[in-house]
Structure 1
Amino acid sequence: MGIKPSYIKNLGTALLAKQQEYFSNSFEANKQQLGSSAVIESKRVRNRVAGYITRKMNAKKRT
């Protein structure tokens, strides 16, 4: 895919540090959770952050 911008990584990492128990391995569930836990007005940015969080959660599951 490519390299994610730093603002996506920073936002995703901060949300995982504070609210990790609310996120899962499902992109759709993470998208819904971001709607209630963070104020992200852009749908594209919300989806990219949800994808980043999903990727991190799946990486933790594998290790």
Structure 2
Amino acid sequence: MGSVKPNYIKNFADELMKTYQGFFNNDFEHNKEMVSQYTDIKNKGIRNRVAGYITRKVQIRGE
């Protein structure tokens, strides 16, 4: 069972996906590195939550 993500995680992830379209895939580790590279997030937990949300969105889309 999943958890509800806060809006700031969703908004940040959606903006990253629009800006860097095609750079994210369904691999969490890859997305985690991309989030670290393209943002200045210092908090590991928030970075992982953003990367996890992006990974899930990509999986749902079927990319």
Shorter-chain TM range is over 0.9
Q: CA RMSD in A?
A: 1.1
- TM-score, normalised to structure 2, is 0.92
Bigger helix share: 1
- TM-score, normalised to structure 1, is 0.92
Letter in 2 for 1:25: N
Letter in 1 for 2:57: K
Gaps of 5+ in 1: none
| Structure 2 residue aligned with 1:20 | 21
Gaps of 5+ in 2: none
4+ aligned runs moved over 3 Å, structure 1: none
Identity across matched positions, percent: 44
